[in-house]
Amino acid sequence: MVDTIKFLIPFEDIRLIKELENNLTRFRKENLKTKSIEFEFHKANIELGSYERNVSIFSSNNPEGFFIEFSLPKYYKGNNVEMIYPHEIPAILEKLYPELCKFLNHDLPHFSTWQIYRLDICYNWLFKDESEATRVIDFLKRIDFARKQKFTWGTSLMYKGSSYIVKFYAKGAEFLKHDFKELPIERSAFLYEQAKRIVRFEVGIKRQQLKELFLNDKIYLKDIIDDSVMTQNLKYYLDKVFFYINPKQMKNSEITEILLKNFTKSKATRLFQFYKSYHLDDEAKDMIMNGGMNRTTIWKYKKDLKKAGVGFSVENESGESFLDQLVIPSPSVQFDFPNYKANIPI
């Protein structure tokens, strides 16, 4: 439920900051013509925790102090196929805190005083197999998010905005590329088999959005450790993605029945034609979006389809629905895979 987090460790003594910067590596860029310094900062990527996973620490002049940024599940569990519940974060910081103090050779302010500047919250949907997870990603790629730039590649999808970023991706390919080699082979092989079935929903929340979300100018540990609150936040962002569509599988006959029940025959016909062109034909959708239809009309049609309860005509071969699982909370959610040794063939 929580992955990467970024804290500001506050300091008021500038001389102490300069002293502690000696534990970091200095990076600077000089203008060779004017001999002036364009920028300078101090940073270190250190390996901490039982799994020796990376924690970034860098100094800051505005605001004064040090930023640290790291993946909570990678530090605590060695991987982020598994997730961390918010209520687990204090215990993780109790472990991290003395390691940081030792590295900087100084007793840092207690972590309850650290401000949160970034928070990545996540959700794992576990599907029947890799093929089904891929079909879910294919479905999600067909959804547009108002006022967000949309990017798709491979089995990943991203909606990018200035204050937060929403991602959906097949976890298997991502785990194999970034973290498979970081664990003992038996553990990695087991996690990879689980990850292939996972579709990850992730929201990267920047500081300004955190202020709006928690209705506070400064966000601290105490504000983010309630599991139910974080679940509601995840649901809030998922609902924004699905604002104009119902993630529900339907037959075409069901869609036409719903439309005829809610609209006149002529409007039901227009909406069904729009539905097929916009959601089921990529070339027709491109024509619509590139001037083939007034944008106000597009959003009006999408709102009518949503209000009527129209879903997607994407039944799989077995006739079983998998899109209905794309809800929060979901019965198909999976955060932990602890007993891998019981699943290794003898």
Q: How confident is the model at residue 147, as a pLDDT?
A: 81
55-84 burial by CB neighbour count: b if 16+ within 10 A, else e?
bebbbbeeeebbbbbbbbbbbbbbbbbbbb
Report if residue 318 sits inside a domain.
Answer: no
Q: How confident is the model at residue 32, as a pLDDT?
A: 75
Q: How confident is the model at residue 311, as a pLDDT?
A: 78
Residues 304 and 182 in one domain: no
Asked which of 241, 266, 289 is the last residue of a domain, the reply is 241
The enclosing H or E element of 152 equals: strand 149-153
Residues 189 and 71 in one domain: yes
Q: What strand order describes the sheet that includes 37-48?
A: 25-30, 37-48, 53-61, 64-71, 2-10, 115-126, 198-206, 164-170, 156-160, 149-153
Residues 109 and 189 in one domain: yes
Residues 54 and 127 in one domain: yes
Q: What is the DSSP letter of 251?
A: -
The closest alpha carbon to 88, from 339, 335, 340, 337, belongs to: 335
Residues 166 and 259 in one domain: no
Residues 208 and 264 in one domain: no
Residues 50 and 97 in one domain: yes
Q: What is the rounded distance in angstroms from the CA atom of residue 51 to the CA atom of residue 183?
A: 8
Which amino acid type is present at position 21? E
Residues 139 and 52 in one domain: yes
Which amino acid type is present at position 211? K
Residues 36 and 106 in one domain: yes
Q: How many domains does the chain have?
A: 2
Query: Would you state the structure tokens that stand for residue 8, as one six-digit string?
Result: 């500001």
SS3 149: strand
Q: How many CB atoms lie within 10 A of CB 113?
A: 13
Task: Write out the residue range of the structural domain in which residue 134 sits.
Answer: 2-241
Query: Do residues 66 and 13 touch, judged by C-beta distance below 8 A?
Result: no
Residues 109 and 13 in one domain: yes
| Mean pLDDT of successive 10-residue stretches along the chain, which has 346 residues | 95 87 86 76 89 90 91 94 95 96 93 97 94 90 85 94 95 92 92 95 96 94 96 95 81 90 95 88 84 88 89 56 83 79 44
The closest alpha carbon to 45, from 17, 86, 74, 16, belongs to: 74
Residues 178 and 301 in one domain: no
Query: Would you state the structure tokens that stand for residue 11, as one six-digit string?
Result: 């300091």
Report if residue 339 sits inside a domain.
Answer: no
Q: What is the rounded distance in angstroms from the CA atom of residue 275 to the CA atom of residue 272?
A: 5
Report if residue 195 sits inside a domain.
Answer: yes
